Structure 1
Amino acid sequence: GILHDGQEVAVKKIPALFFKESVYDEINIVINLKHENIIRPMGYCHEIIMVLCHRQGKYIGGQSMIFCFIEKLMRNGSMEHFITTGIYKKTSRHGLFDWSFCFHIILGTAQGVCYLHEQRVVHLDLKPDNILFGSDMNPRISDFGLAIKLVHVDDEITRDGSVAGTLRYMAPEYLGEGIISIKCDVYAFGVIIFRTIGLMNRCESPVRDDCAGWAEVAQDAGRLKELFGPAKVDQPQLMEIKRCIEVAVLCTQNDRHKRPIMADVLLMLSGEKEIPIPEKALA
């Protein structure tokens, strides 16, 4: 859609069939969020339309509900689109994604998740589909339909019954026991790092998002150079890739208590904090 001032916007329409009271929870969570790596709705509307229905030879009145979020248009689509199509206007001369762009995605997403956790918000559905890009190619986290707000940042709550999310990015404790904490997002972020690095090697990525396989790559200098050699990156960038893989391995540990918090993840990604070696790697 287009606003009166000419600004293009995206209209996220929720049909009555899928409308739930949780939509209002989403509004209450996102309304106060303000960060360059977060998509915050510009507005919303909830309209109830009276309709006339003909049933069994009689006309009766009924209601139809429409709920819409209005958001800034992210013209360059999602990260998932880049992954599945390999299309991006700033590809390197080899036809693959350059490392500077991949690292830009990782850092921007990490900053967005860190901000959410500072606000005690757990997203619960972090994935490439929900990382969008505007004309400035800045990664922004979207879709807070599953998000919850904790009372304290280190709280853990248990969800009874079925869990919701995307299987590949769901932390094992959430999937198996319904346990929700900020560490659920940390796990998903680790998987996103693996998939982002895989953008540079779409046809030769060694282990997809397998934690143990990537850990072996990070520890094998020869294998690391084979996948991301001088034809693709220089030595400082190769060390950045190694650091990102090591951080992703920490984030995707099965034991949530051993995963880092996002503030420490940012420090490790920037090289300001030493990256601890996971226990399995020490064995």
Structure 2
Amino acid sequence: MIKRAYIHEYGNNKLEPEHKEVIEVLKARGIQYELFTNKKLSRNQLIIDNETFVVGDNPTIATVLKRIGFHFINDSYPKSLEKYLGRQIWETTIRKLLSQTSFKEVPSLFVKPKSKAKIFTGFIINSDYDLFQLESFSKETDLYCSTVVNWLSEYRVFVNNSEIVGVKLYAGDETLKLDLTIVQKAINDFENSPGKTAAYGMDFGVLDSGQTTLIEWNDGFSLGSYGLDKEIYTDLLIARWEEILKITSTNKCISKNEQNKD
């Protein structure tokens, strides 16, 4: 059970808007919280136990997960959801992509970072100039590439403990609704897969063909709320965080038992 929390701030009490709402919920529930900066995190000054909840943006939480020994592989396109993508998606690196397009006509494709999920925002490559934007990053940066499609509306579907707890439009035409039958089928497939997690967000869009397709899957430990009810949003974050703490605690016990056997 969560009894205390750390909330990430960028300095001078500057927080993400949804994290301010998380604080409101925690205060109403009588849960103590403390703000922390990246400097405090880098100095290893956060004391995290099985009753401590940590809230932050994606790069910050990635660092926290590493500190507590949680092995996380970013996978925006789980195998169980491949049939809902409606487009080709493949993995490469900046080095390989630049090499493949050298002295050739630049293909139209969408790129986004894989391992370091938020080092840049995904964008469409149509020209040498677009490719040049990748030059400032390490050539070994893992990428997702995909064929270009045209989404007319984009939604985040929030799932907590196998149930849809919210659907929020974040881009496009709000009159174009998702086919929730397809969404539910995707959730069912993910829930029955080895990669299932306690809480997450699935981004779906409506294509210009009218088809509902998966944009990407997002883990629940660091997730934009897009205006989701603050109580529901906080419960979702906590559900995933408690699952992570349980996994790390179990792994540490296993490791300790193996050491004792030796």
- Give the TM-score taking structure 1 as reference length: 0.32
TM-score by length of structure 2 reads 0.34
Higher strand share: 2
Q: Which has the higher contact order (CA 8 A, sep 6+)?
A: 2
Structure of greater Rg: 1
